[in-house]
Structure 1
């Protein structure tokens, strides 16, 4: 995905920080075990958050080990679980189609990096596609809808964001319990909507300069690559509404050992990230984050 779903690690007690790092490292190891070392480079906080949502909430078993990323200091690593494997498979599929979207959206030279990265991930994607064919199918369908909207320069933020929201909600499709699956679909839908819109805001200036599609340009009739104060205020309300709906859905389920991290992310971090993107400080701060 995009790297916007950051945990509020600075506000969490040490026990929760260690728990988060264990699932972060666990997902990294799962990606490497299932898809090779190169696949570990797709790891980000978004996929780690997805892994926590997909987990059953039971206290996980961990082991202390060293790895390429931490050769000197042992880290606690969450042992293999079905949720980690599902999150790893879906992460590969989401990254693959994000790269292919990059190839389609850029010319030959600007698209070279996307072609190269998708080439490196192609074998992993083919394996993930066989393991999770329904998620791959639904992802392709929603991306085609989004592509059609981009071609017609759709001015509706809701229509464009809905396609990505439906796409991400499909990540809950293999959760076995019906009630938990419904809750996760609702959470992931509103998270997907928020991610799409915050990414559009983050890329606004660049998209305006490049002439690339961005729904904010058409929704607010922008003649420059920035939102004026009234538009920013209106857009901020839209972002916050998605977060609140996600928080309401999350209250319907007990996420067990992951509850504190998920609650902190939904009720505080996403609001913070939204404000940072809108005031232009997000990218600088994001580079300083460490797992």
Structure 2
């Protein structure tokens, strides 16, 4: 709610610009993998650039009537579009391994040829991402884990790597790593908590259930018992991100990033926690 209209419009320009980049770098079909995670990455990486933004205003296939503003000729968007394809494909590939559904098989076979379009200078990036995802999937499948900190570690490293691989700033590499690492762990744990009820119903892996539910409590009781603990963990990660951000030489997008790290993460937590409370109260009634 603290986001200004001008900043909201700028975020949409990055989002539409990323969609356009995916189209021209990979093709129309991969645009269905577009998401706000990689849009945020482009906004964050571009915050360190002194290059002036270039915009165009035109119609697109999803909005044929009202013209949209697109950010163009932007290197962070090109990087984010490549990461979007890499992460989307390997996420679907993991779904094939986990549930082996026809949908995930078809989607993975559709996306696979587009990996051939990844520029040569991104090959090491993909290899590093796959290495960190493999570590995460190994922990999830091995299930010999002692803490959420241990389980979320590979995704924290993955997020830190995707930031540092582009910026390659030696002077601020500690702060960049710290921000990316804590953000990645925050994302992993909030997603696990958001999916907790669904995963328990389907008898699927969920790190929060595995590590914290040693007494096999029913979902409603379990959610109540872990709320304060998860709130503390997630708030700690969010605070570390905010502290790291303040030490970085941000050139632009400062208001957007400040909003995301100081309000957005906490608002997302409030929504997830409130949803859990409401569902639990409705069942008890």
TM-score, normalised via structure 1 length: 0.86
In structure 1, the gaps of 5 or more residues are: 1-9, 283-291
Per-residue CA deviations over 1:191-217 (Å, capped at 9, x if unaligned) read 110111011101111211222221111
Partner of 1:12: helix, strand, or coil?
Answer: coil
* Paired residue secondary structure (1:72): strand
How is 1:1-291 mapped onto 2 (pairs within 5 angstroms)?
10-55=1-46, 56-58=48-50, 59-106=52-99, 108=100, 111-128=101-118, 130-153=120-143, 154-172=145-163, 173-221=165-213, 222-226=216-220, 227-280=222-275
Deviations 1:10-58 (A, max 9, x none): 4322221221111111111001110111111111211110001111344
How many residues align structurally? Answer: 270
Larger Rg: 2
Structure 2 match to 1:4: none
| Aligned residues of 2:22 and 2:81 also touching (Cα < 8 A) | yes
In the superposition, the TM-score normalised over structure 2's length comes to 0.88
The structure with the largest helix share of the pair is 2
| Distance in 1 between residues matched to 2:34 and 2:120, nearest whole Å | 21
Aligned-residue RMSD, C-alpha: 1.9
Give the drift of 1:247: 0.7
Q: Is the 8 A contact 2:21 2:77 kept in 1?
A: yes
8 Å Cα contact 1:27/1:48 also seen in 2: yes
* 2: CA distance, partners of 1:228 / 1:33: 45
